[in-house]
Structure 1
Amino acid sequence: MTIFGQEYFLSRRDREERLVEVQLLQTRQMTNQAQLRNDLEIDRWDQMVALHGGSSVRTANPDMYG
């Protein structure tokens, strides 16, 4: 592994730990992206429902959407 132009040699255990860290970060990022998409979709529906005089998805389901 090269960091700032210097070569570092990681043990197999260190490489495996780094891989797990990267996988956790990727999973967290995917989860955050999915949550953002979900929030955007709810907001879009809320806007559409509001245009037609209905109540908000979040207001109708406060336990689920805080």
Structure 2
Amino acid sequence: MDRPAVRTVTCPSCKGPAVFAESNRWRPFCSERCRSVDLGAWASERFRVPAETPPGDDDQAPPTH
């Protein structure tokens, strides 16, 4: 019987090959270390999703009654 080909992807952290299958519990990373490095970058805000603050949200004081 033919075995399916093992799919590999580039690890987002170290740029090495990473097996993209259920057998790799850290996918798409190649290892737990690379997964932790990536998580740390998000936690320290080295990685950010760009967003614009809606106009007027920070410019105005809250209304007083």
Q: Which TM-score applies when normalising by structure 1?
A: 0.28
Higher RCO (CA 8 Å, separation ≥ 6 residues): 2
**Which has the larger share of helix?**
1
Q: Which TM-score applies when normalising by structure 2?
A: 0.28
